[in-house]
Amino acid sequence: MNQPHPSPPTFAPNDWHGALFLTFANRHGATELIENLGQAPLKVQRPFYPEGDEACHTVIMHTAGGIVGGDRLSLDIRLLPNSNALLTTPAAAKVYRTQGREARQTVAIAVAASAVLEWLPQETIVFDGALYRQDLRIDLAPNAHWIGWDMTRFGRTARGEKFINGVWRSHTEVWQNDRPVWIDRQWLPGSDVLFHSPHGLAGSPIVGSFAYIGQAVDPELVQAARSLWSGTLGETGVTRLQTGMLCRYRGTSTIEMRQWFIAVWQLVRATLFKRSVCIPRVWQL
């Protein structure tokens, strides 16, 4: 069904129009952040190297503390050939009730040949009444690799809040060698019916996706990812993609979801890159 074109956004003087532009390059075997341009409320901490010089860990910070209606956040991240970067966030992102005005985050990522990007932000909490859209596009060169996850909690469940008002949209596209390899479009209008529907959240306020894309994987890797699931508070699925693997979670426990995603991440790292997992210290597990 065709949807009507949205009205042009309106801006208020206090709206945040944050931007972040990052470029990573391999310099003599060490990955360095060679370009770092930010506009509030987005910035990064000084990069650090818990795995050695080859992999650069970088923490993206949103200094305003949360996203409100009218905010526009744009991130442009580039990895030059043979670079290796892990990007994460220090805490959960919060999307507040937006009073009828949409908040939006747009992320564009380009990964050059033989480079590896691990995109591992902490969860996003979408408050009841939020209007939020997130767009993520990843362009991979041949022999480039992307590992990423997205974890979303609908409503402040500790307070008994459900997402029954508002709209959440998530559009993800991964292209490799100028061809689409994974297109994922999700749309959840807040309503009590969809919150409990098996075609919506099925009463489970937490959803998440983990993906590896870059090269074809063996069926044994997919089966191994399935076997790592041992939780009891959610349901999961693992799909073999044309050039990668996709894992899904729907349930009631962020801890359970994160533990499974981290286990799959460790599996992918060990199998495809011969590297062990190095947990970012800001996660405070």
| Cα gap 258→252, rounded to integer Å | 12
Nearest residue to 132 (alpha-carbon basis) of 169, 159, 106: 169
Total domains in the fold of the chain: 1
In a domain, 244, yes or no: no
In a domain, 280, yes or no: no
Collect all residues with Cβ–Cβ distance below 8 Å to 192 and sequence separation of at least 6.
Answer: 162, 164
In a domain, 144, yes or no: yes
In a domain, 126, yes or no: yes
SS3 194: helix
| Cα gap 27→33, rounded to integer Å | 10
In a domain, 21, yes or no: yes
pLDDT of residue 272: 97
pLDDT of residue 23: 98
Element (H, E) at 259: helix 254-268
Question: Is the alpha carbon torsion for 73, 256, 211, 269 positive or negative?
Answer: positive
| Residue listed under structure tokens 């767009």 | 135
| Cα gap 65→90, rounded to integer Å | 11
In a domain, 56, yes or no: yes
- Find the angle CA(206)-CA(109)-CA(270) to the nearest 5 degrees: 70
Contact assessment for residue 50 and residue 42, using Cβ atoms and an 8 Å cutoff: no
pLDDT mean by block of 10 residues, the chain; 285 residues: 39 75 97 96 95 96 92 97 98 93 97 98 97 98 97 93 95 96 96 91 96 97 97 96 97 96 98 94 80
Contact assessment for residue 95 and residue 102, using Cβ atoms and an 8 Å cutoff: no
Contact assessment for residue 173 and residue 209, using Cβ atoms and an 8 Å cutoff: no
pLDDT of residue 1: 34
pLDDT of residue 12: 53
Distance of alpha carbon 172 from the chain centroid: 9
| Cα gap 202→216, rounded to integer Å | 32
Nearest residue to 22 (alpha-carbon basis) of 49, 41, 44: 44
In a domain, 53, yes or no: yes
Nearest residue to 259 (alpha-carbon basis) of 229, 282, 235: 229
- 237: number of Cβ within 10 Å: 11
pLDDT of residue 2: 38
Range of the domain at 36: 17-198
In a domain, 237, yes or no: no
Contact assessment for residue 84 and residue 30, using Cβ atoms and an 8 Å cutoff: no
